[in-house]
C-alpha cells in the first residue's frame, strides 16, 4: 500500500466516524485552517494534539452552540485515534485532515447512519459503495476546487438546452446552456474550458459555465 492509499483509508475512516458521531464538519474545517496557519512552528504536530485537548476543555467558552463542546471532544478523540502515529509528520496530518474534511461532507450527504453502522470502517469493505462512488469520493478528497477556477471538460451530451460536461474527464456535470447549446452540440466529444461559478457544501462543483 503506497502513502496516498494509506492516507486515503485513514481519511475515509475518520470521515465515517465524524458523521456517525454527528460532528459538524465545519468545525473540522476550522481546525484544519488553524493547523495550516501554524504548520511551521517547531513540533507543530505534537502541539496540534495539545491544542485539540485544550479546545475540547474550553469549548463551552468559545462555542456557538451547546453542541460545540461535543463536536470538539469528538474531533479530539478521533484525531487521537487516527493521527497520533503521524504527530512527527505535519504534512501527513494536513493531507489526511484535508481529505477527511471533504469526505465528511460526502458521507454526510450520501449515506444514512444505518448504512454507515452496517459496515466495517475499512473502506475496502464498503460494499454499498460502487467503484464509481468511491472514485468520485477520492477525486473530491484530492482536488480542491475554487470559484473562478478554469478547468478542462469534455462535452459528452447535449439534449435540448442541457449540456453535460465531464469535468477533468472524471466528474459529470449537466448545465443549462440555452444560448449556446447548438454551438456546443457541434463540439460533442471535444475538450473545452469551463469556469467554476458555484460549489456545493462538500466542495464539489455545482455550476460551471462555458468559456471556450
**Residue 120 falls within a domain, yes or no?**
yes
Residue 137 lies in a domain: no
Q: Does some domain include residue 47?
A: yes
Tell whether 10 and 108 lie within a shared domain.
Answer: yes
Q: What integer pLDDT is reported at residue 127 of this predicted model? A: 37
Report if residue 188 sits inside a domain: yes
Distance, in Å, from the CA atom of 45 to the CA atom of 89, rounded to the nearest integer, reads: 7
Whether residue 31 is found in the same domain as residue 121:
yes
At 166, give phi and psi (nearest 5°). Answer: -105, 95
Q: In the predicted model, is pLDDT for residue 91 greater than 50? A: yes
Buried-exposed string 30-44: b where 16+ CB fall within 10 A, e elsewhere: ebbeebeeeeeeeeb
Per-residue pLDDT tens over the stretch 22-79: 999 889 988 999 999 999 998 898 899 999 988 888 766 665 667 888 999 999 999 9
Q: Are residues 182 and 101 part of one domain? A: no
Domain end call among 95, 125, 155: 125
Residues 175, 121 share a domain = no
My answer on whether 62 and 91 are in the same domain is: yes
Backbone φ and ψ of 58, nearest 5° = -110, 15
Looking at the structure, tell me whether residues 86 and 181 fall in a common domain: no
107 and 37: one domain?
yes
Residue 153 lies in a domain: yes
For helices 90-110 and 3-20, angle between their N-to-C axes, nearest 10 degrees: 50
Q: Does residue 101 have a pLDDT over 50? A: yes
Q: What is the pLDDT of residue 192?
A: 93
Asked if 151 and 121 sit in the same domain, the reply is no
pLDDT at 193 over 90: yes
Long-range contacts, 168-172 (Cβ 8 Å, 24+): 168/139, 168/143, 170/135, 170/136, 170/139, 171/136, 171/139, 171/204, 171/205
Mean pLDDT over residues 178-194, rounded? 89
Residue 176 belongs to what domain range?
144-210
Half-sphere exposure of 167 (CA within 13 A, CB side): 23
pLDDT for the residue 135: 64
Query: Tens of pLDDT along 122-181?
Result: 454 443 344 555 666 666 666 778 899 999 999 988 888 888 898 888 788 888 888 888
My answer on whether 186 and 84 are in the same domain is no
Same domain, 185 and 82: no
Rounded CA separation 61/81 (Å): 25
DSSP tag of 125:
G
Crossing angle for the helix pair 90-110 and 25-37, to the nearest 10 degrees: 160
Residue 129: per-residue pLDDT: 46
pLDDT reported for residue 125: 42
**For the chain, what is the domain count?**
2
Residues 11 and 84 in one domain: yes
Res 145: pLDDT: 85
Query: In the prediction, which pLDDT does 194 show?
Result: 93
Q: Does residue 132 fall inside a structural domain?
A: no
Q: Which of 125, 156, 190 represents a domain boundary (last residue)? A: 125
102-120 pLDDT tens trace = 889 888 887 777 777 765 4
Are residues 117 and 149 both part of a single domain?
no
* pLDDT confidence of residue 151: 92
| Residue 119, helix vs strand vs coil | coil
165's enclosing H/E stretch is strand 162-167
Domain assignment of residue 196, yes or no: yes
Which of 98, 125, 152 marks a domain boundary?
Answer: 125
Residue 48 resides in a domain: yes
Amino acid at each position: 500500500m503506497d502513502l496516498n492509499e494509506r492516507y486515503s483509508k485513514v481519511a475515509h475512516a475518520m470521515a465515517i466516524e465524524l458523521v456517525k458521531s454527528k460532528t459538524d464538519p465545519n468545525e473540522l474545517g476550522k481546525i484544519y485552517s488553524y493547523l495550516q496557519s501554524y504548520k511551521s512552528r517547531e513540533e507543530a504536530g505534537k502541539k496540534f494534539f495539545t491544542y485539540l485537548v485544550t479546545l475540547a476543555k474550553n469549548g463551552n467558552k468559545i462555542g456557538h452552540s451547546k453542541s460545540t463542546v461535543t463536536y470538539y471532544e469528538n474531533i479530539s478523540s478521533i484525531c487521537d485515534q487516527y493521527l497520533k502515529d503521524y504527530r512527527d509528520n505535519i504534512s501527513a496530518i494536513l493531507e489526511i485532515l484535508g481529505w477527511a474534511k471533504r469526505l465528511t461532507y460526502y458521507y454526510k450527504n450520501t449515506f444514512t447512519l444505518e448504512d454507515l453502522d452496517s459496515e466495517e470502517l475499512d473502506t475496502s469493505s464498503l460494499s454499498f459503495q460502487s467503484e464509481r462512488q468511491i472514485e468520485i469520493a477520492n477525486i473530491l478528497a484530492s482536488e480542491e476546487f475554487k470559484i473562478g477556477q478554469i478547468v478542462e471538460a469534455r462535452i459528452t451530451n447535449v439534449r435540448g438546452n442541457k449540456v453535460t460536461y465531464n469535468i477533468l474527464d472524471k466528474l459529470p456535470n449537466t448545465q443549462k446552456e440555452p444560448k449556446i447549446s447548438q454551438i456546443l452540440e457541434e463540439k460533442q466529444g471535444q475538450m473545452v474550458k469551463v469556469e467554476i461559478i458555484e460549489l456545493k457544501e462538500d466542495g464539489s462543483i455545482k455550476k460551471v459555465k462555458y468559456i471556450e
